[in-house]
Amino acid sequence: MAEDRRVRKTRKALRDALVELVIERGFTALSVEDITQRADVGRATFYSHFRDKDELFARVTADLLAELDDRLRPVVQDSAVGFTGKPILQMLRHARDERDLYRIVLRGEGDGKPLRMFTDACARVAAQEFRGRSERNAVEPRIDPELLARAWVGEQVAVLQWWVEQDAPPMPAEEVVRMLLDLALRGRYWATGFDTPA
């Protein structure tokens, strides 16, 4: 038990050091030694957990996705019938709580691998939900759920990146969700001020 606590403490120190240093210097400029010095962890300890800084970043991203999944699971189940905006609101709140980590992932640090992990995981969940929603409501999708999921997630990731990069969020999470919900339900034509064509 004490060993588990020690492992968790070490991994948290390494995670925090990685995030701080990437914000300060960018991922490419970092060495394992930079990370271990900031975390106050020995190099041997680092290598007992991770092969290199890329593996550390991948683990930190996987942990972020697991936390996000824990937050999203209950609200996705609540939105079984239609778009409620609740999953997006939870994602924005999670991004607010883990702002610096979201910033480095969404910037594409680490040769874009963490960003691809994030986007692929979100797209898998979205495609599964879109398929399930169509089946539950006995409707036939007009657009392939894989493509639809990629378009949906791409929009969310772009908005999320813009939102977390501001010194202060440009608008409350609830307002972002309301606008994205309107966009999802009414479309881009309506959103730009035009009436729906006949």
Whether 126 and 143 share a structural domain: yes
Q: Residues 46, 58: one domain? A: no
Same domain, 33 and 80: no
If asked whether residues 123 and 69 sit together in one domain, one would say yes
Instruction: Look at residue 197 and tell me if it is in a domain.
Output: no
For residues 173 and 96, membership in a common domain is answered with yes
Mean pLDDT of 187-196: 85
Average pLDDT over residues 91-102: 95
What pLDDT score does 81 carry?
59
Q: Locate 114 and state its tokens.
A: 């963490």
What's the pLDDT tens digit per position in 125-182? Answer: 889 888 988 888 899 999 999 999 999 999 999 999 999 999 887 899 999 999 998 8
Higher pLDDT residue, 197 or 12?
A: 12
Does some domain include residue 115?
Answer: yes
109 and 173, same structural domain?
A: yes
Here the contacts of 162-166 (C-beta below 8 Å, separation 24 or greater) are 163/92, 163/95, 164/95, 164/96, 164/99, 164/102, 164/103, 164/106, 165/103
Dihedral of CA 52/58/60/66: which sign? negative
Give the structural domain span for 172: 53-189
| Within-domain flag for 82 | yes
Shared domain for 142 and 45, answered yes or no, is no
Q: Comparing 112 with 2, which gets the higher pLDDT?
A: 112
Do the domain assignments include residue 194? no
Query: Is a pLDDT exceeding 70 seen at residue 33?
Result: yes
Domain count, the chain: 2
Final residue before a domain boundary, out of 30, 50, 70: 50
pTM of the model: 0.90
% of the chain surpassing 90 pLDDT: 68
| Domain identity same for 43 and 57 | no
Q: What is the CATH number of the domain that holds 44?
A: 1.10.10.60
pLDDT band at 80 (very low <50, low <70, confident <90, very high): low
- Determine the pLDDT at residue 172: 93
Query: Which pLDDT score, from 0 to 100, does residue 20 have?
Result: 97
